[in-house]
Amino acid sequence: MSSAKIIGSPLPNIPWEDRPEGCSDVVWRYSGNPIIPRNATPTSNSVFNSAAVPYRGKFAGVFRADTRTRHMQLNAGFSDDGFRWRINPDPIQWILDDPELEYPHYLYDPRVCWIEDRYWVTWCNGFHGPTIGIGYTRDFQEFHFLENAYVPFNRNGVLFPRKINGRFMMLNRPSDNGHTPFGEIFLSQSEDMIHWGRHRWVMRPQQAWESTKIGPGPVPIETTEGWLMFHHGVLTSCNGFVYAWGATLLDLDKPWKVIARGAPYLIAPWMPYEQVGDVPNVTFPCAALADADTGRITVYYGCADTVTGLAFCKVDEVVDWVRKNQA
Ligand code: BMA
């Protein structure tokens, strides 16, 4: 068994449920899934692919709460325990620091990442096609939209939770304007969160379950054995896309270098709430909480583009699994 430990803060109130008896899976689902229903606000069509973080002893987050006009928007939300969420009925009103910036045409698949002094928010931003928008908040009330990191098209901008070698780093997934039939993971670097360059290639689809495209999921978790990255992978079946997720270890100093990659998926759409919804057969992780004291990790993932679920694992077990299940 690996002795991997989380490098980070304790989170004694991490939402948690022990692995069910008789289950030998490395990652297991919460028995109360889904935790957020599609009608969590009076006007929401669906609440999924969303990001939660520890906030002032409790939890806060940025939620993809598509409306009943099917507009894609982000709403802030709050929780005492990480399980039961109050999602604001109104979307985030972005403050544009540069008036020449265009107000986001649409917003989806947010990630939230605490770095140094604030919560950074990244999302897939409508800017004449999808690209990565970057904003920040300190209190989940006032949100500033800083800039688009890239020209279109890109999806899945995922920051690392600290500077590495003096630079901010962001995993991302160049794409096209539609339901992209390809996708590999890249990493871009920045000194100021505005200008992104020094692009490095990270990895391509490898296994059948991810053969169409892959993309980064939650903010990577720093461990004693490397950055633990969960990623989603997409298979094209005779009946459409199937979204599952797996895990990879990245080098701590050069996080574009893969140390070890688990070949099988960890979670795939097996449950009815993952198989039935607005987009069938989707499990899509966007956030993870981690407790450095116990090694517990809790993942928030979107289910069938409709509701939000939780899954659990332990850092030593998942790192061990990645190392033992390489292709
Ligand atoms: C992707 C994004 C995700 C979504 C997935 C499945 O391209 O739009 O938000 O979960 O497709 O529909």
**Around Cβ 218, how many Cβ atoms within 10 Å?**
26
Q: Ligand 1 centre from 305 Cα, in Å?
A: 7
Phi-psi region of 159 (alpha: psi -120 to 50; beta: other; left: phi over 0): beta
- Sheet containing strand 58-67, strands side by side: 44-55, 58-67, 74-79, 85-87
pLDDT at 201: 98
Residue 279 Cβ < 6 Å to ligand 1: yes
Q: Ligand 1 centre from 316 Cα, in Å?
A: 30
Task: Name which residue sits closest to atom 10 of ligand 1, judged by CA.
Answer: 305
Residue 259 Cβ < 6 Å to ligand 1: no
For 168-175, the CB contacts below 8 A with 24+ separation are 168/115, 168/192, 168/193, 169/255, 170/122, 170/132, 170/196, 171/202, 171/216, 171/220, 171/229, 172/132, 172/216, 173/213, 173/214, 173/215, 173/216, 174/150, 175/130
Q: Ligand 1 centre from 304 Cα, in Å?
A: 9
Taking the alpha carbons of 152, 155, 161, 165 in that order, is the dihedral positive or negative?
A: negative
Task: Name which residue sits closest to atom 9 of ligand 1, judged by CA.
Answer: 109
Q: Ligand 1 centre from 134 Cα, in Å?
A: 19
Tell me the helices (H) and strands (E) count for the chain, helix number first.
2, 22
Q: Write out the chain's pLDDT in tens, 327 residues.
A: 679 999 999 999 999 999 999 999 999 999 999 999 999 999 999 999 999 999 999 999 999 999 999 999 999 999 999 999 999 999 999 999 899 999 999 999 999 999 999 999 999 999 999 999 999 999 999 999 999 999 999 999 999 999 999 999 999 999 999 999 999 999 999 999 999 999 999 999 999 999 999 999 999 999 999 999 999 999 999 999 999 999 999 999 999 999 999 999 999 999 999 999 999 999 999 999 999 999 999 999 999 999 999 999 999 999 999 999 999
**What φ, ψ does residue 238 adopt, rounded to 5°?**
-65, -15
Q: Ligand 1 centre from 225 Cα, in Å?
A: 31
pLDDT at 97: 86
Nearest ligand 1 atom, CA 179: 7
Nearest ligand 1 atom, CA 241: 6
Residue to mutate (ligand 1; options 72, 156, 177, 243; most atoms within 8 A of CB): 243
Nearest ligand 1 atom, CA 48: 10
Nearest ligand 1 atom, CA 109: 9
For 130-134, the CB contacts below 8 A with 24+ separation are 130/154, 130/155, 130/175, 130/177, 132/156, 132/157, 132/170, 132/172, 133/104, 133/107, 133/157, 134/193
Looking at the DSSP assignment, which residues form a beta bridge with residue 262? Answer: 326
Distance CA 167, CA 178 (A): 31
pLDDT at 1: 64
Q: Ligand 1 centre from 9 Cα, in Å?
A: 31
Task: Name which residue sits closest to atom 1 of ligand 1, judged by CA.
Answer: 179
Nearest ligand 1 atom, CA 180: 7
pLDDT at 109: 98
Residue 239 CB burial class (10 angstroms; 0-12, 13-18, ≥19):
exposed
Nearest ligand 1 atom, CA 243: 6
Q: Ligand 1 centre from 13 Cα, in Å?
A: 30
Residue 274 Cβ < 6 Å to ligand 1: no
Task: Name which residue sits closest to atom 11 of ligand 1, judged by CA.
Answer: 179
Task: Name which residue sits closest to atom 7 of ligand 1, judged by CA.
Answer: 179
Residue 216 · residue 173 · CB < 8 Å: yes
Q: What is the DSSP letter of 208?
A: G
pTM tops 0.85: yes
What residue has token string 């999808």? 130
Residue 123 Cβ < 6 Å to ligand 1: no
Residue 108 Cβ < 6 Å to ligand 1: yes
pLDDT at 2: 73
Distance CA 205, CA 154 (A): 17
